[in-house]
Structure 1
Amino acid sequence: MAINFEIFMGPLLILVCIALILFGVFCAQVYSYWTTYEHDPLNIKLLVLALSVLEFTHSALCLHILFEYFISDIGNPAALGGIVWCVQVTVFIEIFIVTLSQGFSIVRIWQLSERNVYATATAVVLLFFRVAFGFGTFFLSWEGVRQPDIHAAPNLDTTATGTLLYVYRTWDEFHSHLGSFATFNCGLALAAVVDLVTTVLLTYYLRRNRPAFRRSRFVIQKLIFYTVNTGALTMLFSVTTLFLFRFLGTSLMFGGMVEIISKLYANSTLALLNARQRIKNQAAADTSGINSIPLELRGGSSSGTSQIQITHPTRVKVDIFREVSTSAGDPGMSTPRENGLDTKGAYEMA
């Protein structure tokens, strides 16, 4: 097909550049995490390390995509419609990043729900199918990909989106065939559904476990705010990419959106981890006046000068409550049950 370079490649260039900017934001968040939460549990540190390695590799491949399309193939219009190998690899890396991010949310649901199997299983099953549409059948069709006749009709029943990028050598083929159309759309739709389910479940259990203490209520409200906003953002981009792939096939805008989605998931996870100390500081500032006890003393005044006289001694009853909360940055401490509600999961994994 004839390719309009500006319409076909222009959005890809802009969106990949935005994705690289988001990678810079991610690097800043990683630096902030390692300098602030040195005592986090090992599993959280491994999560951050894995996301860092995957994001670095993904960003390097994004640069290679720009090099291939806008430098190597700039004088070859026929090659601009082809799918370069680095695009295929970014698809698989993105699946790992999304899985780690959404898996982190599912673990939080498991803790907040006090190991509710039914609530957690719903999100796990959806995530499993989302991953399956991405690359679950890649190994089954690997031998078929290596066959010389790459334009032969692939076995659409055993080919996932990532594999179809190998089978279809041009974007026109990838967009027009039913197999790639189904797997790509189902993968994005399931990613959005997983975001919706995890956000709703996390919000429900955070609200259910909301304690009576003012500071703890403040922390829970902030956690709900971060959860809803990050979940809504990634879900919105997944749905938008789905519609772009469906109705704007003459442009690679959907490809650029896929690269951005990877950065959004990684940044949302790091933002939630880094927000813990800020939420604690805000909660402490919000409740700083609780320890002071205002006393109203009645008295009289004369000769233009004010004098305070205590006419009757007042007995003041002071109830002292001790509130203890922990986060993933405070290992070895336990969170007490407040008003019969265990908020440990919210603090540990938030």
Structure 2
Amino acid sequence: MSDRIVIHNSMGAAFIGCVLASALYGVSTIQTFYYYNNYGRDPIHIRALVLAVWIFDTTHQVLISHTVYHYVISNYFNPLALMDMVWRVASLSPAPMSSILVEVLFNGFIGFIVQSYLTYRIWRLSNKKIWVLCLIGPFVLAEFICSVVFTVMALQMKTFGELTALKGLSMTVNILAAVGDLFISICLVYMLYRRRTGYKKSNTIISRLIIFTINTGSLTTLFAIGSLISILVWDDTLIYVTFFFCIGRLYANTFLATLNARSILRSVGQDDDANTIHLSGANTTEEAIGMSKGTRPRNISIQIDTARDILRDDDDSNTMKGKISSS
């Protein structure tokens, strides 16, 4: 009886998590539409990643919505149903599937795609230094593997009580997610800061990118920490799913916001006078632009590698180019 009471009280947390995730799903869907409407000429592999993230995001939302509906609506007058995890009809698949467990796998898919993409961006910003992959890669890969292992092991269980045996693995997933996100944010900020040029226009773009990186990276980290704390403090409840249901959605929105912010960040460099910023590909130093101390060159050309790496992808046919020109 006590187990049923604990799970019954936890359904409120699951419902809140589902509502928050639904709101975030609406945002990610709008962002997906915006992306395809404005960046249809991006490389096909980037467009494929966006589609994959949205499909996984949609599937995850369907799964958690089914879970909440099953307990809160379909079995409202059936407290015994709270003991068992929601199981789909076996004939619909080779083996019975639990929507509340399979959603962990799709969360893992989304996190793996987004973290891998951001790791790739950092690797490019670092001039393809191998230490970046060695530092972040193991956390990204380990988190995904642990998510898969958790799902496979949990699908062998039928009650929520049995899930307590996987508490350590569940904590590991959240720890790896938090540490991976933290390293990604720190490395991005560090790489961006190193590329400050001393010029107001280019520094404005870089500062905006740094703020954007901190804002987007901190959300997934905080929710992963919230999920971890909930498991530690209330390990016999489902309170942690309030945070966990939203993590995949936050990853999706971070990924889409990174792509969609390019046009906004590009406009930061636009100027009404003769000075214009165009984003290009080479690193710039004072020596490269021929600046000598105490003189102002008549033609200044600053190639902003950082902005290029963040705002566009390899082989992008819609290359955003240019330079700061002043006469």
- Same structural fold, with TM-score higher than 0.5 when normalized by the shorter chain: yes
Match of 1:204 in 2: 190
Residues matched between the structures, number: 285
Deviation at residue 22 of structure 1 after TM alignment: 0.7
Q: CA deviation at 1:249?
A: 3.0
- 1:270 matched residue in structure 2: 256
Which residue matches 1:320?
Answer: 299
Structure 1 residue 73 displacement after superposition: 2.0
1:41·1:328 contact (CA, 8 Å) conserved in 2? no
2:85 maps to 1:83: yes
Please name the residue that 1:167 is paired with: 156
Amino acid at match of 1:255: V
2:41–2:318: 8 Å Cα contact kept in structure 1? no
SS in structure 2 of the partner of residue 30 of structure 1:
helix
Distance 1:250 1:332 in 2: 52
**Structure 2 residue runs without a partner (length 5+):** 87-97, 277-295
Structure with max Cα Rg: 1
Distance in 1 separating the partners of 2:237 and 2:272? 55
Moved more, 186-195 or 328-337: 328-337
The question of whether the paired residues in 2 share the 8 Å contact of 1:12 and 1:253 is answered with yes
Q: What letter is aligned with 2:154?
A: L
Q: Is the 8 A contact 1:83 1:165 kept in 2?
A: no
The change in CA–CA distance for 1:290 and 1:218 in structure 2 (over 3 A counts) is farther
Matched, 1:62 2:64: yes
The Cα offsets for residues 114-172 of structure 1, whole Å up to 9 and x where unpaired, read as 1100122211111111122111xxxxxxxxxxxxxxxxxxxxxxxx3112321232222
TM norm structure 1: 0.75
CA deviation after TM superposition for structure 1 residue 208, in Å: 1.2
AA matched with 2:299: I
Please point out which of 236, 255, 272 is paired with 1:288: 272
What RMSD in Å do the two structures reach over aligned CA positions? 2.4
Give 1:250 shift.
4.3
Q: Match of 1:239? A: 225
Deviation digits for residues 220-274 of structure 1, max 9, x if unmatched?
Answer: 1111111111111100100110110121134322123211111011011111111
Q: Give the whole-Å Cα distance in 1 for the aligned partners of 2:275 and 2:192.
A: 27
2:214 to 207, 219, 228: 228
CA offset at residue 94 of structure 1?
Answer: 0.6
Q: Is the 8 A contact 2:31 2:256 kept in 1?
A: yes
Once residues 36 and 16 of structure 1 are traced to their aligned partners in structure 2, the CA distance between those partners, rounded to angstroms, is 30
Query: CA separation in 1, counterparts of 2:318 and 2:263?
Result: 17
Aligned pairs for 1:131-142 (under 5 A) are 131-135=144-148
Where does residue 107 of structure 2 map in the other structure?
A: 94
TM-score by length of 2: 0.80
How has the CA–CA distance of structure 1 residues 331 and 210 changed in structure 2, closer, same or farther, with 3 Å as cutoff?
farther
Contact 1:26/1:267, CA 8 A, preserved across alignment: yes
Counterpart of 1:220, as a letter, is I
- Contact between 1:164 and 1:174, CA under 8 Å: does it hold in 2? no
Taking the aligned partners of 2:121 and 2:275, their CA distance within structure 1 comes to 33
Q: Is the 8 A contact 2:17 2:242 kept in 1?
A: yes
Give distance in 2, aligned partners of 1:111 and 1:56: 30
Cα deviation, residue 21, structure 1: 1.0
Q: Is the 8 A contact 1:30 1:270 kept in 2?
A: yes
Aligned-pair CA distance for 1:210: 2.3
* SS of 2:76 mapped into structure 1: coil
Q: Aligned-pair distance for 1:91?
A: 0.7
| In structure 1, distance between residues paired with 2:25 and 2:300 | 44
Change in CA separation of 1:282 and 1:334 when aligned onto 2, cut-off 3 Å: closer
In percent, how many aligned pairs have the same letter?
28
Q: Is the 8 A contact 2:146 2:172 kept in 1?
A: yes
Alpha-carbon contact 1:29-1:270 (below 8 Å) kept: yes
Provide the C-alpha distance between the structure 1 equivalents of 2:17 and 2:320, rounded to a whole number of angstroms. 45
Give the distance between the partners of 1:81 and 1:227, measured in 2 at CA. 42
